[in-house]
Every structure is written in structure tokens, then in C-alpha cells.
Structure 1
Amino acid sequence: MIVDSMENVELFSSEGKGRGLKAAKEFCAGDVIFAEPAYAAVVFDSLTAHVCHTCFKRQEKLQRCGQCKFAHYCDRTCQKDAWTNHKSECSAIKKNGKTPNENIRLAARIMWRIEREGTGLSEGCLVSIDDLQNHVDNFGEEERKELTADVQTFIDFWPPSSQQFGMQYISHIFGVINCNGFTLSDQRGLQAVGVGIFPNLCLVNHDCWPNCTVVFNNGNHEAVKSMFHTQMRIELRSLGKICKGEELSVSYVDFLNLREERRQQLKGQYYFDCTCEHCTKGLKEDLMLAVNDENKPSQGVVKEVIQFTKDTMEKISKARSEGAYHEVVKLCRECLKKQEPVLADSNIYMLRIMSLASEVLSYLQNFEEAAEYARKMVEGFLKLYHPNNAQLGMAVMRAGVTHWHAGLIEVGHSMICKAYAILLVTHGPTHPITKDLEAMRIQSEMELRMFKENEYVYYKMREAALKNQPIHVMPEPSSNTTPNSIFHKKQ
């Protein structure tokens, strides 16, 4: 069911949290509470020629705007739908002879919309751009320097013929982008491709253990295309039962961090101190720092292993950036050998190394070892994450596919089914990643039946199929993936 109005939510204000949204009726797991088109959105600088500037889908061949030579579109439909937002931008780019960065472009698109529609409430919005938090007063010295530079670049780019805005108001817009810019993903939700402003989403407060999740939908459902000309929207979806009058919340950061790490990230990017139950009571903290009960290591040994892990992760990061994936595997193996006698399987330092090892080993086609690490990783994740967490669902999906590639069809199929159940809630049945997963589930179920009927024949058929097909290369490990925080922080 597609919900494009805001009738399902109510705006409230409290002394502790400020404004927020609460449920106007009861919801069940997987319900779309509201859907919202972007007020303004842009593609990341690095992907402007690879992602449609209207629907934000990655495509191999895109049509370029014949005038500015900058904007790219899937087809004439996307180009036509984009013209209202691109017209002024197109003219400014041609006049300047160069294109500013994504931050300036997003600010300009917001300003041009304000020029067209005014600063009041836009249709379907519960809050205006003027009333969104900018936190400029909380900026540190370095952030203020960046803000000053952005404002000056914006003024140089902004056409004299357009409505003129004061320095303070321009600063407000950049402040809004800094702490409210939402990360947009490609059609399968696997890569971050842009940033947009969604005013209603900005009203949903944070909780480390939220009752809602946010998913970006590029207009893959026909009902969406008829509702929003931009063919893109975010959906706020319920993770479980929500009672009428209950506050709606999402997590701004990945839960799989220690509470002090989460608090530091929230304070640094969103300028507030988290007082959610999981932070104040330290829930799950014991599991995240659990040690091997059988060996009962001393505090000194635990501290030494954790420091060794941190040092190793720095080396891994360097090796990954250089494409030295065999070195990454070597470092992971060495670290895990040191961790296993000391840390428990739910310890986040061990989980991080196992996640890296599984990803890189899959890329190197070493599926059996990758599957073993993936299985242990999933077992740890299941103890820590909310049962309907989107990142848990994606991790279980990747682990299931890894087992499938390794020929471990029973475990692989089970994990794929588990991931499918989670993503039905977090992404919905029409999202491309859920559809892909459904196809995997059907295929793996068919292979599992073959396996149970005759294990020997199954492996012979599998071996023959692999010999007659080119090796399927897994995606190269990259840091350019969808961030774990829902809002985009300027890099």
C-alpha cells in the first residue's frame, strides 16, 4: 500500500526532544507510514555521468543534457520531468562555464524552489525549509571556515537575475544540508549515489533501537510513478507493532557500535546527546564487548587484543585502498587467530574483522572460507541487531549468497529465506533488492529439492554447470557503499 499523505502521523513538541512525529493510528511490521518526494536532490560529483539526475538509478548509457552537457538522464521522460528543477541550474552552469560541487548544487536547487514557491509550507510538508534546524551556532572553527567558503562559492555561482538572498539565510540553507541531507542510494540500495532534503523525514527523531526504518525508492512501483513526477521518494516503514500516539523514531547511525562511539557520532554530526534507553542503560553493551568464557582472559589481554584489532583495521584500510586484497585476507586471518581465544563471537571487534574477511574472500572466489566467516558473523549479528534491522537483512542475504556459491545449499537457502523475511519488512515486496532475493529464494529452493533427492547427482550437475559458465566475479570491495547513517554528512 502506497501512502503519500501525512494523515498517518501527528506533529508534536516536547521540552526534552523538541519537535517529533507520533503515530496517528496503529501500525504493523512492514507498513508504510508515509512516503515523501525530495524537496531537492542532487547526484554525487563522482557519479554525475553514471546516475540519472531525476530518478537516481545507475545506468550504463545515459542521455546528456544538450545545453549544459552536465546533467544525465535515463531517457526523455526523466529529462522532461527534471526540467523544472534543472532549468535554472542548466542556465547557471552554462554561464559559469563550470559546475560547482554537490553541496553548492543542492543549496542552489533549494533556493530556486524557494524562488518559485516561496518559503511557506510546500504541499504535503509539515515543516518549511525555514523552520528546519541548521545548528550553525554549534559549528566548530573548521566547520565555520568550510561554511564561509561554501557561501562564497554559492554567491559566485548564483545568477544576478535570480532572487537574491542574504548571507545569513544562505548560511541557514547550508546548515540544513549539513545535518539534514539524506543519503540517496541506487535502485538496489547497494551504493550511495546522491543527497537530498526531505523535510518530513527531518522531523523523525533518533533512537538507537528505533521502531521505524527509512528506505529510498527510485520509483520502481508503477503507483509511485503516477504519484511523483520525480519517480523517487523515501518511505518511512514500521519495524514492528506501533501503537497510536507512540513516537516514531529512526536510527541516525549504525547500532553496531559501542554506545560512546554512537554518542560521539551523534554529537559530532547532529549536535545532540543521545538519551535513548540503549545508551542510558548500556543495553547490548555486554554482548558487544563479550570475551571467551572458556578461557577467561584477563583485562590486560583483552585490552591488548582490542588494540591489536584497531591497528590491524588501519592496515586493512590502507591495503583495501591499494587493491591489495590478498594482503587484506592475510591481515584478517592473523587478527582472527589472535582474537578467537580471547573474544566472544558477539564481540564487535571480531565481527568487524569477520565481515571484512568474508567480503574480500568472496571477491577472490574463496567461497568456502568466506562462508565460514559469514556464518559466524551472522550468528553474532543476530544477537545484537533488532530482528527487523535492514543492515542485518542485507548481511544475512550476502552470507546466504556466499554459502550458495560455496555449494552449501541447505545453509544458503535458509539464510536467503531469513533475509527475505527481514527485507519484506524493511524494503517491501516491490523493492528491486527484495525482488532479486525472491528470485534467489525460488532458485535455491529448487536446488535444495534436487540436493535432497540425490546429493551425488546434485553436485555433479553443479560441477558441470560451473565448468560451462564463466566464473561469476563478486563486486569489488569498495568503501563507496550506502553509509550506515541515514543522513549524509558533507565529506
Structure 2
Amino acid sequence: MTVEKTDPVEVFGAGLKGRGLRGTRDLSAGEVVFAEASFAAVVLDSLSLQVCHSCFRRQVNPHRCAQCKFAHYCDRTCQRAAWDEHRKECSAIRNIGKAPNENVRLVARILWRIQKHTGLVSDSQLTTLDMLEDHLSRMTPEDLKELKVDVKTFYTYWPKKSKAVGEDYVSHLFGVISCNGFTLSDQRGLQSVGIGLFPNLCLVNHDCWPNCTVILNHGDQSALDASFHSSRRIELRALEPISAGQELTVSYVDFLSVSTDRQRLLQQQYYFDCKCEHCVNGTKDELMTAVKPTEDGKQPSAEVVKQLTDFSLQALVKIEAARAQGNFHEVIRICRECLEKQDPVFADTNVHVLRVLSTASEVLSFLQQFQEAAGYAQRMVDGYMKLYHPNNAQLGMAIMRAGVTHWHAGLIEAAHGLICRAYGILMITHGPHHPISKDLEAMRRQTEMELRMFKQNEHVYHSMREAALTSKPMSVAGEQVQIKA
């Protein structure tokens, strides 16, 4: 599935931002502005054994390509669907004995497709790869050095039987994916698993408070009849009503940083100075750096704030290191210590507090310490809701996880409320047919049923819940019943 001519978008000159896309008619919140299949995409190196190289879903025991022994798939159906794209890659990997990094593999896939389709694979493709920015002239010496290493590796990997490609064009493509590559997530939207290139999406400019979001639809290769398959694609979805002629924007970075930090990251990674309204006005910066007044009603001194900020940054580094090592109890110890020091000084909208709350709630949930996790998750959601766009996908996912944590903690009223709130957001950002939305709808129905039971008789509800958690049948009115906990 690709962008159709009837899709309500057109390319226009966006001033200093170069080209952009705008709507040609009014759009409503949750509407799919366009969908676009990837020009090429690859699984990240670190997850090549765990993720399907066709649909990018995570799998417990994926099926391995018997020839290159590198690519993995959900099953033979996914493998057959991917063979046209994998065929030359498979041969190239076998020839050199191992797979190169994801950037080299992606550039090779792009070039094989260009040579097959001359770079324009559908009438609805609004730009060619030749016209996309590579920003090579603005790269740092370190970035250019890494790029040259990738170019050298590419020529080792590129089969001699394939059509020769000049070094300048190969370098151009590496530059294009560096600043235009789109990160692909797994089926739950919780982890980055791949990178792809979507030419039309590359035309959508950045805004820190965008009116659109991008969601990966993994497609469906499960049908035995290939005519019923749907391809992997991104969907550009409207977050709010958009008037005809208004520019379509997405955010290239997470909003949860002060404007100067977002601007610095955008300059480092995408080579432009963000002049969006939220950056120019520093919108919400005060909330993200908010502090609590002291007992005498005064603001804490700049020195105290700086010391605690430095401590928080150091603690976050230690937290990530402990997490990477799988030392989750150490993660929680540091989080508790950090929050104890932050609580008297920082407000709950302070980004340093929110980052610790997010990690603490997630790791405590993993350790099944749900009561404490729920408390941290609620504080995190309360802070997020004051900062994020009301239809932000990350906000919706965070609220969903908080709802599940409360559910596990037995706090059914709060759990149902959070899950309903998350459902309202994700219906806009993901749509009703996305696996996450379907899971959330099932949770919404389940918690609604449990909430009715809870309101009828709290004692019976908790008894049934305890029985479900211990896998023991519970007798009610002479019949054995079980609920999902």
C-alpha cells in the first residue's frame, strides 16, 4: 500500500525549511493522511536474531534463512513474502561470510531497488532519493569519518555482479539515511527494532508540537493466498483538526526536554535550527525545570538546584548502567535514593524527576512490586499530562502502562480510568485496527467487567482476584468462576 493520488497532500515551498507537505482539504483528528510502504528497511544489528526481517515483529523462536543464516522470519509465509527483497542480500552475505551493519545493509537494499525501479516505485511517490538532503557538507569530521568507513564496508559487501555505483552517490545515500531514516518499532510499539526509508515521509517537516504522528503498521502476511497480504507501511495520522493549506508536521525528537536541549539535538542529528513556536517561546520550559518553594515560601537557591541537577544526571547514568547489566534491584535502590533527594526541591513536572519515575515504575513492575510501581506510575502520568500534547502517542502508551500496573496492583478503579484514557488517545494515534489498540480494547472490556464486580461486592472481587492470581478456582453461587488478573 502506497500513497494514492487521492490522498490530501501536496508538496510546497516551506521557506527556510525547504520543501514541505500540506493538506489539500480539512483533516480530522485520527484521520490517516497517507500511508506509505518502505522504499527499503532493515532490522537493527542488535536484534537481528529476535525480529522478523519481513514484518519487523518480535518473535521468541523465529525461522532462520537456511542460506545466509542471518535473516530470521516469523515463519515460511513471512520468508516467502520477503524473498524478493532478501534474494540479493542473501547472496551478498554468503559471499563475504557475515552481514555488515544496518546502515550498509540499508544502502544496499536501496540501491538494488533503485536499479530495479529507477528510484520511483509508484506514481504517488512525491520525491526521488536524489532530491533528498544528505547534509554531508554540515557533518562533523567525526561523522564524516564514520561515514567513510561505512562506504568502504559497502564496497566490500556490494556484489561484483551488481551494477557499479559511484562513491559520491553511495555517500549521498548514507547521508540521506542518517538524517531521514525512520525508526521502526515492534508490534507493541515499545522498542526500536529497525530502520527504513520512506521518501514521502521525508518531506514532512519537524515541529516540537506537531499536528501529525507517524505509526508503523506491520501489515499482514498470515494469509496463505498472497493476494490477501498487506505490506509493511507507515501511516501519517492527524493528531488534531487540520485546515486545508496548513503544513503537516511531525516531531523528530521527544518533546520531554527543554527547548535548548531539543534545539541542540536537532542541530546535531538533523542539521537545522528549530524555530518552532515552542522553541522560540520556551513553552513549558518552566514546568520542565520547575522547583518547589522552601518552607519559608522562597525559591531554592540556584546553587542548590544546580547541585541537585548534577546529582540527578549522574544518577541517571548509574541507573542505565545497572539496568544494562540486569541489576534491577540496584536500579531501584538508586531510583529511590534519587527521588528522596529530588522530592523536597523538584516539582513532579521536572524532567529529571519524570525520568526517574518512568524507570522506577517500569522496573518495579518487572519485579512484580506493583503497589509501589503504581504510585510512581501515577506521578509520572500526572506530570506527562501537563507537558505532552493531549494526543501524543508516547503519552498514550505511558498511560496504558500505568493502567496495567494499577490493574496488577488490584487498584481496579484507577486502572480502568487510565486504560480508558489511554484508549481515547491511541484510537487517534494508532487507529482501531492496530494490535496495540486491539489489546487495549480487550483490557478496557475486562477492567470494565471487573469494576462492575468490584462495585457490587468488594470482598468477593478481591477474593476472586486472589484466586485468579494463585490459579485457584473460586466458587460463587455454587459455580466455579475465574477472572483474568
Q: Which of these residues, 370, 375, 379, is aligned with residue 373 of structure 2?
A: 370
Superposed counterparts of 1:388-399, under 5 Å: 388-399=391-402
Q: Quote the offset at 1:309 in angstroms.
A: 1.0
For residues 66 and 357 of structure 2, the distance between their equivalents in structure 1, rounded to whole angstroms, comes to: 48
Q: Is the 8 A contact 1:393 1:422 kept in 2?
A: yes
What is the correspondence of 1:215-230 to structure 2 with a 5 Å cutoff? 215-220=215-220
What residue in structure 2 maps to residue 276 of structure 1?
Answer: 276
**Matched residues in 2 for 1:227 and 1:281: separation?**
51
Compared CA separation, residues 227 and 371, structure 1 to 2 (3 A): farther
Q: CA deviation at 1:278?
A: 0.2
1:487 is aligned to none
Change (3 A) 1:218 1:441: same
Please state how far the C-alpha of 1:318 moved relative to its aligned partner.
1.8
Matched with 1:476 is none
Distance in structure 2 (CA, Å) of the matches to 1:63 and 1:124: 34
Tell me the distance in 2 between the aligned counterparts of 1:307 and 1:68.
48
Structure 2 counterpart of 1:128: 128
Partner amino acid, structure 2, of 1:368:
Q
Asked if 2 retains the 8 angstrom alpha-carbon contact of 1:221 and 1:430, the reply is: no
Return the alpha-carbon distance in structure 2 between the equivalents of residues 61 and 121 of structure 1: 34
Q: Aligned-pair RMSD on alpha carbons? A: 2.0
Task: Measure, in 2, the Cα distance between the counterparts of 1:222 and 1:151.
Answer: 37
Counterparts of 2:330 and 2:304 in 1: how far apart (Å)?
Answer: 26
d(CA) in 2 for partners of 1:25, 1:3:
19
Q: Secondary structure at the match of 2:264?
A: helix
Q: Label 1:121 to 1:68 Cα distance change in 2 as closer, same or farther (>3 A).
A: closer
Aligned residue in 2 for 1:80:
80
Aligned-partner residue type, residue 211 of structure 1: N
- Any conservation in 1 of the 2:220–2:229 contact (CA below 8 Å)? no
Q: Which residue of 1 aligns with 2:480?
A: none
Structure 1 range deviating more: 266-275 or 97-106: 97-106
Deviation (angstroms), 1:332: 1.2
Q: Who is 1:385 aligned against?
A: 388
SS of residue matched to 1:283: coil
- Structure of higher RCO (CA pairs closer than 8 Å, 6+ residues apart): 1
What does residue 31 of structure 2 align with? 31
- Whether contact under 8 Å (2:206, 2:249) holds in the other structure is yes
CA apart distance, 1:190: 1.7
Equivalent pairs, count: 467
The aligned residue for residue 331 of structure 2 is 328
Matches within 5 A, 1:72-471: 72-120=72-120, 122-220=122-220, 231-293=231-293, 295=295, 296=298, 297-468=300-471
Whichever residue aligns with residue 362 of structure 1, its letter is S
SS across alignment from 2:108: helix
SS at match of 2:208: coil
- Amino acid in structure 1 at the alignment position of 2:364: L
Task: Report the AA paired with residue 41 of structure 2.
Answer: A
Deviations 1:392-450 (A, max 9, x none): 00110111111111111101110000001000000111100111111111101111111
The alpha-carbon deviation at position 61 of structure 1 amounts to 3.2
Q: Structure 1: which amino acid aligns with 2:462?
A: Y
Structure 2 spans left out of the alignment, 5+ residues: 473-485
Match of 1:10 in 2: 10
Shift in Å at residue 226 of structure 1?
7.9
Q: Deviations over 1:439-462 (max 9, x none)?
A: 111101111111100111111111
Aligned to 1:68: 68
State the one-letter code of the partner of 2:38. A
Give the Cα separation in 2 of the matches to 1:306 and 1:108.
44
Amino acid at match of 2:384: F
Distance 1:196 1:457, change over 3 A: same
Cα distance change on mapping 1:112 and 1:65 into 2, 3 Å: same
Q: Cα distance 1:114–1:237, how it changes in 2: closer, same or farther (>3 A)? A: same
Q: Deviations over 1:240-284 (max 9, x none)?
A: 100000000000000000111101110000000000000000111
Cα distance in structure 2, aligned partners of 1:76 and 1:222: 10
> Helix, strand or coil for the counterpart of 1:359?
helix
Partner residue in 2 for 1:473: none
The separation in 1 between residues aligned to 2:373 and 2:260, in whole angstroms, is 31
Mapped partners of 2:222, 2:22: distance in 1: 29
Could you tell me whether the CA contact under 8 Å between 2:287 and 2:349 is conserved in 1?
A: yes
How far apart are 1:66 and its partner, in Å? Answer: 3.1
8 Å Cα contact 1:3-1:32 kept in structure 2: no
State the shift of 1:122 in Å. Answer: 4.2
How far the C-alpha of 1:227 sits from its partner, in A, is: 8.7
- Whole-angstrom CA distance in 1 between matches of 2:325 and 2:35: 40
Task: Choose 181-190 or 412-421, whichever is displaced more.
Answer: 181-190
**SS at 1:16's partner residue?**
helix
Instruction: Give the 3-state SS of the residue equivalent to 2:16 in structure 1.
Output: coil
- Residues 7-56 of structure 1 deviation map (CA, whole Å, 9 limit, x = unaligned): 31010013311000000111111000000000001111222232221111
Shift of 1:308: 1.6
Contact 1:413–1:445 (8 Å) recurs in 2: yes
Structure 2 vs 1, CA of residues 315 and 398 (structure 1 numbering), >3 Å: closer, same or farther? same
Which amino acid in 2 is paired with 1:131? Answer: M
Contact 1:85/1:109 (<8 A) preserved: yes
Residue in 1 aligned with 2:41?
41
Q: Secondary structure at the match of 1:208?
A: coil
Contact 1:403–1:412 (CA under 8 A) maintained in structure 2: yes
Q: Which amino acid aligns with 2:317?
A: E
Flag the 1:314–1:176 CA change in 2: closer, same or farther, 3 A: same
Q: Which SS does the other structure have where 1:219 is aligned?
A: coil
What is the one-letter code of the residue matched to 2:367?
Answer: L
Give the % identical residues.
59
